[in-house]
Chain A
Amino acid sequence: DAGVTQSPTHLIKTRGQQVTLRCSPKSGHDTVSWYQQALGQGPQFIFQYYEEEERQRGNFPDRFSGHQFPNYSSELNVNALLLGDSALYLCASSYLPGAHNEQFFGPGTRLTVL
């Protein structure tokens, strides 16, 4: 039973570029949430996808966008990269999107913006 997977593992970009990160949820899960974890900090919620729709969004600018596919996998897109976007990007999957549901994290994508 595969857990949550993410790709790529690491990514280096320059300011102003665009990036796409990918996530496949744990088998049996239908909801994907994305988090940004800066060094030494706890993860911060970006948004959540369920039934191919953005269900909830955290305090992140419109440069951050996402998508969910019919197979429940998801993408996170970040446009016009800033130095401050350097972080570990984590996706978490759950069965249904409710606030009481267990979320399991993927290994993350380490994004470095130069």
Chain B
Amino acid sequence: GNSVTQMEGPVTLSEEAFLTINCTYTATGYPSLFWYVQYPGEGLQLLLKATKADDKGSNKGFEATYRKETTSFHLEKGSVQVSDSAVYFCALSLNDYKLSFGAGTTVTVRA
């Protein structure tokens, strides 16, 4: 079946540190890949996406590259801020756009 495995948290960082959250997937076809973020007290929202191999999604300083050879979609940010504290979910979808989510990674950034 289709599934997503992402790095377990929680992750605690200092401001301006480098953040990476690993995500790997298993899929029967060629999925689109997503990172969703949930800030405290808010609903999930799309952070970035990539729809085919070697595509790079980027938003708010975050980047992730769709790596078909390693079935990965790792999330990175070069310099985190306190406002990046949130839960991050990796997700995939096939043609019907039904999302399958990973378990989420809680990130806390300290000033």
Specify whether A and B are partners.
Answer: no
- What residues of chain A have their CB less than 8 Å away from a CB belonging to chain B? none
Interface set of B (CB-CB < 8 Å, partner A) = none
